[in-house]
Amino acid sequence: MIGLIDSNNFYVSCERVFNPRLENRPVVVLSNNDGNVVARSNEAKALGIKMGIPFHQIKTIVKLEEVAVYSSNYALYGDMSRRVTSTVRDMIPDVEVYSIDEQFLDFNSFGKYDLKKLGEQINRTVKQYTGIPTSLGIAKTKTLSKIANHLAKKSMTHKGLYVLENEQLIKEYLSLIPVSDLWGIGGRYTLKLAKHNIHTALDLYNTPEQWVKQHMTIVGLRLWYELHGMPCLQLEETQKPKKNICTSRSFSSKQTELSVIKEALATHATTCAQKLRKQGCVTNFINVFVQTNRYSDDPKYSNSFTCTLPESSNDSRVLIHYALKALERIFRAGYKYQKCGVMVSGLTPENQRQTSLFANEKADESLTKGDTLMGVMDTLNEKYGRDTIKIGTAAKSKQTKSWEMNQSYLSPKYTTNWEDLLRAK
């Protein structure tokens, strides 16, 4: 049996752990730049605040109902997520971390245990150790455990735990679930399936295998098998190295000057290089993109350019150099830019770096020196805090405030930043 444990209203729950006055109150957490609502407490849901709605559209109700509002605090949520995972892993060793608030659990070596009792114990322990409330669904496949989890959360009688086993019950529930709620069915498939009169999860369950394969590829077929209780998706307990890494942000206000965008892009390139080094990888392609606001009536422009590095690298200085070169090629004056970013691909492990055919000893030496320098920078930034030391091009200037992310409602980084903790006190 497979379990899916999921933290309820996760970002809101993290804020509540450190601010219990938020209990029983409507609370929302916003996306980066305080753009949209990405998490809601049950009380906020009851007020009709929809997932993903732009913040400016709910300002009236926020004031009227005294909704507590928070900017995303990923330092806090990431750390709380690690605590939840390690608590779960102490009880069930085989865990796949699926997202910041979800883990799949493998119960197959717990055959003789009462899964209901065990499940209750898991929820209770996580709450006790971390303060985060969770829901747990258990079934034969990942897809069915997603459904069981949904049932655990939605029904008051299940109290955050549901073991979905009985074939007849499975079919009954499937008949109540819109096909669009299934894991793996998005907007496009929902429309396509509706045209063929497939509306509920049970409709899809009853659709012939051949039709599914033909119209929904192997991906849909796996989903179909999983619904029938035949596992096709394995637990992935080790994290696979990423194939692409992207760092991008919207500006807090629209930007027109190349110099400002250069500063922002250099900062993103630095972050991207840090992420590469953390994964122990080097890149040989760097893609840079800029775009204007797609919702506004102002002239629109978006473009990207990919540079091929002469030699694979994860050196911040190298990435900044090529990112700015790419930017020069796509920047057009006269537009109000909203966002820029850097994406690296073609990643290879650091220790399998392909050097240039024409590299000489001097080049080797400079490569080693670069690695040492980056190592020192990473160590200092880890020990004394982010941005303790950085490359000059990405340094903060008078212009920085005009592009840096807007976070007007940020809570302290209670668990990862000592100064923040003191401030909170």
Partner DNA sequence: TCTGGGGTCCTAGGACCC
Q: Which helix (H) or strand (E) holds 273?
A: helix 258-279
Distance of CA 15 to the CA centre of its chain: 18
Q: List binders of DNA among 259-288 (CB under 7 A).
A: 275
Distance of CA 107 to the CA centre of its chain: 26
Q: Smaller CB distance to DNA: residue 102 or 315? A: 102
Q: List binders of DNA among 372-411 (CB under 7 A).
A: 405
Among 15, 43, 96, 101, binds DNA (CB under 7 A): 101
Among 25, 45, 158, 249, binds DNA (CB under 7 A): 249
Among 21, 112, 188, 362, binds DNA (CB under 7 A): 188
CA angle 257, 258, 261 (to 5 degrees): 95
> What is residue 108's DSSP assignment?
G
- The piece of 29-37, 124-132, 395-403, 413-421 that touches DNA (CB under 7 A) is 29-37
Q: Smaller CB distance to DNA: residue 112 or 243? A: 243
Q: Smaller CB distance to DNA: residue 118 or 143? A: 143
Q: Smaller CB distance to DNA: residue 108 or 234? A: 234
Do residues 245 and 343 make contact, with C-beta atoms less than 8 angstroms apart?
yes
Q: Smaller CB distance to DNA: residue 177 or 367? A: 177
Closest CB 113 distance from DNA, rounded Å: 27
DSSP letters of 291-321? EE-SSSSSPP-EEEEEEEEEEEE--HHHHHH
Q: Which helix (H) or strand (E) holds 219?
A: helix 209-227
Residue 133 found at the interface with DNA (CB under 7 A): no
Helices (H), 72-208: 74-91, 115-130, 142-154, 167-176, 187-195, 201-205
- Virtual torsion, Cα 315, 316, 318, 324, nearest 10 deg: 160
Q: Smaller CB distance to DNA: residue 287 or 411? A: 287
Residues that bind DNA (CB under 7 A): 31-33, 35-36, 38, 52, 54, 56, 98-102, 146, 182-190, 192, 217-219, 240, 242-250, 254, 275, 293, 295-296, 338-339, 341, 343, 405
